[in-house]
Amino acid sequence: MSYKTSLLKLAIKCAPIKIILWIANIKLKGIAELTVFSFDLDARTAHVQTQLFGEAEPIDVWVDGFGIMSNGQSHQFIIQQAKSNKPWLNNILAHIVGKAWKIPAIPQLAAQMELIAELLKLDHPEPQDN
């Protein structure tokens, strides 16, 4: 792991959850409120809870296993497992989980993409198609 990747990983671990929630809620203003956010980069897990305006119950999403597969010139993002407390969202997740999704190449962001790909590199990549 490169020095830059190690530094970025440390910054992610040290990011206060309250600041993440505050920034997300600024962006979601008028649509939803993010009420819970947990993210473990080492375990590759995430949990998000959001309350859509006008809805009685919050939506929970749990992700277990995610990362980027690279072959040198292209990158693909994969979510290995995900579930929700909403049946309709579980149906949507069933269509995207376990499939590799090509990340479009943007020349201006090539250096940053390499850093992110190194940070989120899968330990045991499973070749899949989208």
Q: Backbone phi, then psi, for 54, in 5-degree steps?
A: 90, -5
| pTM score of the predicted model | 0.80
- Residue 126 pLDDT class (50, 70, 90 cuts): low
Residue 103 lies in a domain: yes
* CB 12, CB 4: distance < 8 Å: no
* Identity of residue 29: K
Residue 43 lies in a domain: yes
State residue 124's pLDDT score.
Answer: 63
Nearest-Å Rg of the Cα atoms of the chain is 16
Residue 126 lies in a domain: no
State residue 86's pLDDT score.
Answer: 96
Residue 97 lies in a domain: yes
**Distances in whole angstroms, Cα of residue 99 to Cα of each of 12, 44, 75, 84, 118:** 26, 16, 13, 18, 20
More reliable by pLDDT, 24 or 129: 24
Q: Which residues pair with 47 in a beta bridge?
A: 38, 62
State residue 1's pLDDT score.
Answer: 67
As a whole number, mean pLDDT of residues 5-17 equals 85
Residue 52 lies in a domain: yes
Residue 84 lies in a domain: yes
Residue 80 lies in a domain: yes
Domain enclosing residue 78, as ranges: 3-119
81-123 pLDDT tens trace = 999 999 999 999 999 999 999 999 888 988 888 889 888 988 7
The number of domains in the chain is 1
